[in-house]
Amino acid sequence: MARPNTREEIVQAGLKCLVEKGFNAVGVQDITDVAGVPKGSFYNHFDSKEALGLEIVERYGANQTRREILFDPAVPPLQRLRRHFDRITGLFVDSQFTRNCILGGFSSELANQSETIREGLRKLYGQWTKDLEATIAEAQASGEIANKTKAADIAAFLLDSYEGALLRARVERSRKPFDRFMKFAFGELLV
């Protein structure tokens, strides 16, 4: 029986390891052990751990679940925004705050270490902000959000604030930072 795609096994193992431990705490050997492939197989598919990290950032950015939630035409835009943040929060709460956010974790670990990954993260932040902006603008146009602040500014603020809440929730091992974010975002800003 043929093995599944070795490259994909390495990517999935890398994602698992990096989400659990962060980039700097994981070596290539850790990744290949989880993938169940020889270490040499890693280098047949990736020039470096940094190259794998960039692929993971790009895949994270291409996550269609986020976009499906934000752009579901059957759901009012403000409700989509809430569902979006509730879904992400649920991932971290369910992991008991041990899950590493690729975006936040890589940003804090690698922004000054890898120009390649920093640029990938910059693009990811930009796309995520644009997705939030589009949904916020739709909610403003429909009257669900009366706040006339530019949708782009609200979107950037929400993403910045959420990433900060996520980091604090991990440190405190508590959902309270998420609850504060949701209370302010949906009770004060997105009204």
Q: Comparing C-alpha atoms, which of 68, 47, 78, 63 is closest to residue 15?
A: 63
pLDDT tops 50 at residue 1: no
pLDDT value for 16: 92
pTM of the shown model: 0.89
pLDDT at 139 over 90: yes
Instruction: Let me know whether 12 and 67 are in one domain.
Output: no
Residue 54 maps to a domain? no
Where is average pLDDT lowest: 29-33, 38-42, 60-64? 60-64
Residue 128 lies in a domain: yes
| Enclosing domain of residue 19 | 6-46
CATH number at residue 28: 1.10.10.60
- Is the pLDDT score of 76 beyond 60? yes
HEC profile for 117-183?
HHHHHHHHHHHHHHHHHHHHHHHHHHCCCCCCCCHHHHHHHHHHHHHHHHHHHHHHCCCHHHHHHHH
**pLDDT mean over 163-180:** 94
